[in-house]
Amino acid sequence: MAIIQQIIFLAILGIVGWLVFKRASLIRNTILLGRDEDRADQPAVRFATMLRIAFGQKKMFDRPLIGIMHFVVYAGFLLINIEVLEIVLDGIFGKHRLFAPFLGSFYTFLISFFEFLAVGVLVTCAIFLIRRTFLKVERFQPSRHREMNGWPQLDGKIILLFEIVLMIAILTMNATDTVLQEMGSQHYTRTGDFAFSHFLKPVFANWNETSLVIYERFAWWFHILGIFTFAAYVTYSKHLHIVLAFPNTYFSRLTPKGEMNNMPDITKEVKIMLGLTEAMETNGEENAIPERFGAKDVPDLSWKNLMDAYSCTECGRCTEACPANITGKKLSPRKIMMDTRDRLEDIGRIMQANDGKFVEDGKSLMGDYISNEEILACTTCNACVQECPILINPLDIILQLRRYKIMDEAQAPGAWNAMFQNLDTNQAPWKFSPGDRFNWADKLRNEV
């Protein structure tokens, strides 16, 4: 019987591993569709940023109570996986509590510590679920934010329920295990009571040995299959940020947030026009004009922009801080990131159907997913960038989409075109002589 269980466990482990690897490979391939961008500089600074922001959850503590609760779930997720390691090894080798004989009383302390984390995760997830379902936190409401309609709203609740059920499975499994130990049941190594599960022992006090073994095995299988399901599910969920937050913060921008990246080709042309540099020739021809200014679809964005999209937690802090959104405009930085990820998902399905190659489907990120009205509403204030807990930069995507509409399709609003012309002819946004640019300063001096 034990051999059959081992074979079944190994088969399930192999299938889940293959599914996760296949999905991870697709995500990697779609991210690599983006333009190359060098983010390998200053590795020490990048590593420190990752430790502070991703591992240390620094920006979550801008809101202390929520930050503490999120840290409880995060720490619990990381550390409880040590117990999952034992369960996996038990399944592979057909053992039960493999580490207990080697660790002695420390094993009881360790499992008690994991139970403390499990209770913390259970309580915190219950509070988060109540907030989402009954307290109606504004930034999660689909009535106010259309991007939260349907699956995004459901996804967050599924994960919270999932974690609550898994924590209950751990605690009840440990409770029945210790009851069986006291009965002297075969294969149940004596460890003593654990910190929290022993409070559940009275629930099982009148059960016979057979019923206890059946429930303990059921809880064991339910827990590990739940973990495997979670591992596969998370690659399709916003909770992919559990993994991607680390590389995403490591490769984040190190320059000041207000510094916009100039377009190299435009910078070069301006310098040539001003006589600051000379036109260079390559292979006997002048440097070629780029195929496209800005970004129309995800391959025009950088790989880091695409990693940002997959890393988005959909927390809505960016949208909550966006002045355009606050004043009723359609722009939602969260929606920009979600739309970019949706486009990547669609492209991923196309690649799967075409042996890993992307075949044009007649759609593009700009127009089919994101509208002109959204990108034109952006004030480039960087509030969304400042708020993101894992250093995602929605503004960079907005700017590239806007550059495409204005420079490639010449679809700037009339008022913008007038400003561009004034900047070109008068070196100021307003239509007056360049010689009068500093008249306002003379008036200011007179007032002083």
**92: DSSP letter:** H
pLDDT at residue 278 in the model? 66
What φ, ψ does residue 149 adopt, rounded to 5°? -70, 145
Report the DSSP beta bridge partners of residue 282.
285
Does the structure show a pLDDT above 50 at 282?
no
Does the structure show a pLDDT above 90 at 267?
no
pLDDT at residue 414 in the model? 84
State what percent of residues in the chain have pLDDT above 70: 95
Does the structure show a pLDDT above 70 at 280?
no
Give the tens place of pLDDT for each residue, 11-31: 999 999 999 999 999 999 999
User: What is the average pLDDT across 251-256?
Assistant: 92
pLDDT at residue 283 in the model? 46
pLDDT tier, 137 (very low <50, low <70, confident <90, very high otherwise): confident
The token pair that represents 79 in the structure block: 């550390």
Does the structure show a pLDDT above 50 at 83?
yes
CA angle (83 as vertex; 230, 61 as ends), nearest 5: 70
pLDDT at residue 338 in the model? 96
What span, in angstroms and rounded, lies between the C-alpha atoms of 124 and 71? 10
Q: Which residues of 432-447 are buried (b: 16+ CB within 10 A; e: fewer)?
A: eeeeeeeeeeeeeeee
Residue whose C-alpha is closest to residue 237's, from 129, 310, 303, 322: 310
What span, in angstroms and rounded, lies between the C-alpha atoms of 444 and 448? 6
pLDDT at residue 104 in the model? 87
What span, in angstroms and rounded, lies between the C-alpha atoms of 358 and 351? 5
Total length of the chain: 448
pLDDT at residue 284 in the model? 44
pLDDT tier, 1 (very low <50, low <70, confident <90, very high otherwise): low
Does the structure show a pLDDT above 60 at 197?
yes
Of 308 and 93, more confident: 308
pLDDT at residue 156 in the model? 86
pTM: 0.86
pLDDT at residue 285 in the model? 47
pLDDT tier, 289 (very low <50, low <70, confident <90, very high otherwise): low
pLDDT tier, 444 (very low <50, low <70, confident <90, very high otherwise): confident
Give the tens place of pLDDT for each residue, 163-194: 999 999 999 999 999 999 988 888 888 888 89
SS3 string of the chain? CHHHHHHHHHHHHHHHHHHHHHHHHHHHHHHCCCECCCCCCCHHHHHHHHHHHHHCCHHHHHCHHHHHHHHHHHHHHHHHHHHHHHHHHHHHHCCCCCCHHHHCHHHHHHHHHHHHHHHHHHHHHHHHHHHHHHHCCHHHCCCCCHHHCCHHHHHHHHHHHHHHHHHHHHHHHHHHHHHHHHHCCCCCCCCCCCCCHHHHHHHHCCCCHHHHHHHHHHHHHHHHHHHHHHHHHHHHCHHHHHHHHHHHHHCCCCCCCCCCCCCHHHHHHHHHHCCCCCCCEECCEECCCCCCCCCCCHHHCEHHHHHHHHHCCCCCHHHHHCHHHHCCCCCCHHHHHHHHHHHHHHHHHHHHHCCCCCCCCCCCHHHHCECHHHHHCCCCCCHHHHHCCCCCCHHHHHHHHHHHHHHHCCCCCHHHHHHHHHHHHHCCCCCCCHHHCCHHHHHHHHHC
Mean pLDDT rounded to a whole number for the chain: 88
pLDDT at residue 290 in the model? 61
Give the tens place of pLDDT for each residue, 330-389: 999 999 999 999 999 999 999 999 888 888 888 999 999 999 999 999 999 999 999 999
User: What is the average pLDDT across 283-310?
Assistant: 80
What span, in angstroms and rounded, lies between the C-alpha atoms of 373 and 332? 11
